[in-house]
Amino acid sequence: MPVYETDEPILYERRGTTAWIAFNRPSFANSQNGQLLYALDAAFARAVDDAEVRAIVLHGKGKHFSSGHDIGSPGRDADLPVKARKSLWGDHSQLDGAAKAYVREQELYLGLCRRWREIPKPTIAAVHGACIAGGLMLAWVCDLIVASRDAYFSDPVLRMGIPGVEYFAHAFEMHPRVAREFLFLGDRMTAQRAYELGMVNRVVERDDLESEAGAIAERLATLPPFGVTLAKQVFNQAEDLMGKRAAMDASFHAHHLAHAHAQLTTGSTIGGQDARSMADSARKE
Ligand code: ZN
């Protein structure tokens, strides 16, 4: 059984018309377990339900935004049944073979990210420190990204034999040539480089991150809410007409072929201990 280090992996705070939602697992670099992801889903739902809230900022407590999916903390809860908020695939823990991870990740990773991308209120990711792998997914589902100068982005999962994270937006977030380098080499992309590529809207000093994200949220709050919702839909539809959704479905299947291959060849869907120690060392920085 997982041992959770906190009952509040997500913090929710209202400041005026803005809902501030924070990852709160700083001792594990805000890595994402099921507990955190369902708490995040509840926080987003709370912000949507509150008529006073006109914009949402997603940020992280501690040194990092998010180091990705939890693959090694005592709170790793990958074997607990998923709640099927997004899908009706049922309890993945009753399944075996490739179905187990496939169903869990359809719900918890791909499904929830798509749900959050469609939140009717504008969302801003305020990113500092590490934004790695699964961390990228949660920045990418937001409408705008503000990064502090110390922020960096990377998707190193190809080193585990996995062709990118579950929400494969890489070739839409940056030029496909750059995205290839990003994934193949797995290097850290600085906030400045991400800004130059258009993946990030603003780069500010670390001390100015909250004030900048908050100021943008307050400007968004002055817009007609339904108009903003429609604008979000228009962008989502435009991206999907450019093939985003279909590309993501195709890459999700490749992702799970890779998980199954890793399981057959190493006994672990993420390629054994090498991947774990790699993730641990990233978190210790
Ligand atoms: Zn996966």
pLDDT of 282 above 70: no
Per residue in 167-180, pLDDT (tens digit) is: 999 999 999 999 99
Domains of the chain, earliest start first:
10-208+225-284 (3.90.226.10)
From CA 272, how far away is CA 285, in angstroms rounded? 22
One-letter amino acid at 118 equals E
Ligand 1 centroid–CA 119 distance in Å is: 23
Ligand 1 centroid–CA 165 distance in Å is: 6
pLDDT of 47 above 90: yes
* Number of residues that make up the chain: 285
Ligand 1 centroid–CA 110 distance in Å is: 9
One-letter amino acid at 262 equals A
CB hemisphere CA count around 33 (13 angstroms): 26
Confidence of residue 27 (pLDDT cuts 50, 70, 90): very high
Q: What are the E-state strand segments in 93-168?
A: 123-127, 130-132, 144-148, 152-154
Confidence of residue 278 (pLDDT cuts 50, 70, 90): low
From CA 113, how far away is CA 133, in angstroms rounded? 13
One-letter amino acid at 59 equals H
Ligand 1 centroid–CA 259 distance in Å is: 7
pLDDT of 166 above 80: yes
Ligand 1 centroid–CA 184 distance in Å is: 17
Ligand 1 centroid–CA 166 distance in Å is: 6
Ligand 1 centroid–CA 69 distance in Å is: 9
Per residue in 67-101, pLDDT (tens digit) is: 999 998 999 999 898 887 777 777 888 888 999 99
Per residue in 106-116, pLDDT (tens digit) is: 999 999 999 99
Ligand 1 centroid–CA 100 distance in Å is: 11
From CA 11, how far away is CA 60, in angstroms rounded? 9
Per residue in 182-226, pLDDT (tens digit) is: 999 999 999 999 999 999 999 999 999 999 999 999 999 999 999
DSSP state of 157: G
